[in-house]
Amino acid sequence: MKLKYCQIAAASILSISLIFSAIGNSQAGSLAGSKGDVRFPPTVGAGECNDGYKAYIAASGHSAYATTFYSRVVDLYIICGTKLNAASQKAAEEMAMRNCQAGLTRWKLKTASGGCAISASK
């Protein structure tokens, strides 16, 4: 008689754990196609920054997009940096900022806005 109750209890525990695991997997979906946390609208223009922003949107993991602020009156260029599919959102933001700042250093540019900032991250 006791064995019958143990089997019923084991079956109900197993079914509950399967239900919760299915709910957890559906909530932890891919980030692909998501714009994430947009801090300011990115100015992507044409070329590499446009391609980088499209890759950021398509990335399925934690990613970030950093860019310079754009002023049509003062700045005639846009520098950007991305990090796709990083271990965490914070790590992606740090690497995207480094990539953007490296572009400013490489091209020896000064911006009126003061440099790079994270435009969007997820």
The predicted-structure confidence for 31-66, as pLDDT tens digits, reads as follows: 999 999 999 988 777 789 999 999 999 999 999 999
| Binned average pLDDT, 10 residues per bin, the chain of 122 residues | 58 52 51 93 84 96 92 76 96 97 90 87 96
Q: Is 22 exposed, middle or buried (0-12, 13-18, 19+ CB in 10 A)?
A: exposed
What pLDDT, on the 0 to 100 scale, is given for residue 111?
80
pLDDT at 70: 75
Residue 114, token pair as written in the block: 């003061």
Two tokens, residue 34:
């998501």
* Gap between the Cα atoms of 75 and 121, Å rounded: 24
pLDDT value at position 88? Answer: 96
Domain boundaries, the chain: 1-30, 37-121
Q: How far apart are CA 18 and CA 94, in angstroms?
A: 38
pLDDT for res 109? 84
